[in-house]
A and B are shown apart, each in its own frame.
Chain A
Amino acid sequence: MADPIHQFIIEPIVPLQVAGIDISYTNSSLWMTISVLVSVTFMTLATWKKAMVPGRVQMAAEMMYGFIANMIRENIGTRGMEYFPLVFTIFMIVFIGNMLGMIPWSFTYTSHLIVTAALALMIFFMVVIIGIVRHGAHFFHLFLPPGVPAWLLPLIIPIEIVSFLARPITLSVRLFANMMAGHLVLKVFAGFSVAMLAAFGTAGLFMGIVPTLFNVALITFEFLIAFLQAYVFTILTCIYLKDTIEIGH
């Protein structure tokens, strides 16, 4: 029976070392490449005809375009459209990664904390650097919510600072934990079916149907999670990026 952890193991395909650092092309890199190819192929097909009356692929791409554009307009404002390509890239890389992970024997690169952390830290440092460059000292008003009585400030300011610093942690752990936990549960339930067959023989074959049916429901749920977590990751990116546009608090 397969080990549920096995699906997360990084296996080098092309070993590569630069200045003593291991940057091998691994199964993770392979699926990142596939993700990029899927995105590029999809968008190329979608913009192939540039049709006034869109076909199916173009329609799907336009819906995604509208989906992300609306998200930015609602959460950042019209001026946030300068981040449109960035937010779109983040959404696509996470969404396609989550979805590719649903293919059996594939590798879910978003189930690795380092990947989600890299994305989250990139956003975090973007917010800090762009925020300070644009707003100067005013950026630190972020930690000073308006309308708070002075005697509460010693309490509120540390809380605000901690919650600000926690952003990359929560952002990355949420995505990674969801993807890892979901895939673990799928594998564990699949393992139950096989284990029952091994333990009880023919009777186990019938008993094994129960976890299998459960897995069918779980897979549906996992598809939802795959989309939802990409959506949550992207929308939180928007909310964080808002601080570079205006410190409204």
Chain B
Amino acid sequence: MQAVIRHSLLWAACLLLVRVPAAMADRAPVHGDADPEAAHSAAVDAAHADAAHGAADAAHGGGGVGLPQFDPSSFASQVFWLAIMFVVLYVFFSKKALPDLGAVMKKRDVHIRGALESAKRQKEVAEGLQAEYERDIENARLEATGAFTAAEKTIKEKADAGYRAFQENAAKQIAKTEAEIEKAKTAAMEDMHSLAAEIASKAAEKIIGVETDLDQAKTLVRSLKAKAA
């Protein structure tokens, strides 16, 4: 700010240095109450007389009566009308324009602040809802996982039970079959022993001609078999 003021002051000073001394110098010799028209024609004459020097000289010519700014005859009128205009403007601004404008701006300010406030509240509500929604989702997910695990467990148990039942059944069947085979084998062996004893006693009868005891032969075969085993 200071810089701006200083700059403009400097600028004004420079222009004044160029202009005012000339005006002062001109004012001194021809000081009088010459009317503006005369001053004007003097300026025009000066310009005609020495056109090459241009406007600067014309200014000198006009300066013959001094700057109009320093002519006190118009002061009263200027101050009088300025005062009237100032009062009119002041009254208009202070009573009408500025309060109106201020009221509109304040109203808008209040409105915007209210809107911001309600937006903030709505945002909070929305955030609450979102948190609730997320909680629900989480719960549902946990529930689903639980249900899935339970179902898996049930299925596994069922499968295990089925498998076990099948295994037991199969084992039972195998055992039964094995027992049957064993029985058949024992029966077959028994038949073989009887057959062997019979053949042996028949052979002995044929070879040596003696009547042999079949039961004795059978006992012998059995003891032989036991010895072989």
Q: Which residues from chain A sit less than 8 Å from chain B, CB to CB?
A: 1-6, 8-12, 16, 21-26, 28-29, 32-33, 35-36, 39-40, 43-44, 46-47, 50-52, 54, 58, 61-62, 65-66, 84-86, 88-89, 92-93, 109, 111-115, 118-119, 174, 176-178, 180-182, 184-185, 187-192, 195-196, 198-199, 225, 228-229, 232, 235-236
Contacts of A10 in B (CB 8 A): 68, 71, 74, 77-78
Are B104 and A51 touching (Cβ within 8 A)?
A: yes
Q: Which of B83-138 contact A (CB under 8 A)?
A: 83, 85-86, 88-90, 92-94, 96-98, 100-105, 107-108, 111
Are B111 and A52 touching (Cβ within 8 A)?
A: yes
Pairs of residues from A and B, 9 with the lowest C-beta to C-beta distance, nearest first:
A191-B55, A85-B94, A3-B43, A181-B15, A5-B62, A43-B97, A195-B54, A29-B81, A47-B100
Are A115 and B104 touching (Cβ within 8 A)?
A: no
Question: A24-B77, A25-B81, A61-B101 given as contacts; is B44 within 8 A of A93 (CB)?
Answer: no
- Segment at the interface with A among B4-12, B183-191, B209-217: B4-12
CB < 8 Å A-B pair total: 216
Q: Which of B47-78 contact A (CB under 8 A)?
A: 47, 51-56, 58-59, 61-63, 67-71, 73-78
Are A88 and B93 touching (Cβ within 8 A)?
A: yes
Q: Which residues from chain B sit less than 8 Å from chain A, CB to CB?
A: 1, 4-5, 8-9, 11-12, 15-16, 19, 36, 39-40, 43-44, 47, 51-56, 58-59, 61-63, 67-71, 73-83, 85-86, 88-90, 92-94, 96-98, 100-105, 107-108, 111
Tell me the minimal C-beta distance from B50 to chain A in angstroms: 10
Are B85 and A113 touching (Cβ within 8 A)?
A: no
Q: Which residue of B lies closest to A182 (CB)?
A: B15
Tell me the minimal C-beta distance from B38 to chain A in angstroms: 11
Q: Which of A33, A85, A114, A196 contacts B78 (CB 8 A)?
A: A114
The CB with the most chain B CB atoms within 10 A, among A114, A176, A191, is that of A114
Question: A61-B101, A228-B4 given as contacts; is B77 within 8 A of A174 (CB)?
Answer: no
Question: A28-B81, A181-B19 given as contacts; is B101 within 8 A of A176 (CB)?
Answer: no
Tell me the minimal C-beta distance from A86 to chain B in angstroms: 7
Question: A85-B90, A174-B9, A225-B8 given as contacts; is B82 within 8 A of A118 (CB)?
Answer: yes
Q: How far is the CA of A181 from the CA of B47 in the complex (A)?
A: 20
Are A177 and B54 touching (Cβ within 8 A)?
A: no
Contacts of B52 in A (CB 8 A): 195, 199
Q: How far is the CA of A86 from the CA of B94 in the complex (A)?
A: 8
Are A1 and B62 touching (Cβ within 8 A)?
A: no
Are A6 and B51 touching (Cβ within 8 A)?
A: no
Are A112 and B94 touching (Cβ within 8 A)?
A: no
Q: Which residue of A lies closest to B92 (CB)?
A: A40
Are A47 and B54 touching (Cβ within 8 A)?
A: no
Are B75 and A181 touching (Cβ within 8 A)?
A: no
Q: Which of A16, A52, A187, A189 contacts B108 (CB 8 A)?
A: A52
Q: How far is the CA of A104 from the CA of B180 in the complex (A)?
A: 136
Question: A3-B61, A177-B16 given as contacts; is B98 within 8 A of A65 (CB)?
Answer: yes
- Known contacts A16-B77, A23-B80; can you find 10 more A-B pairs with CB under 8 A? A1-B51, A4-B59, A26-B81, A28-B74, A54-B104, A174-B8, A174-B12, A177-B16, A225-B8, A229-B8
Q: How far is the CA of A25 from the CA of B74 in the complex (A)?
A: 10
Tell me the minimal C-beta distance from A130 to chain B in angstroms: 16
Q: Which residue of A lies closest to B23 (CB)?
A: A5
Are A178 and B11 touching (Cβ within 8 A)?
A: yes
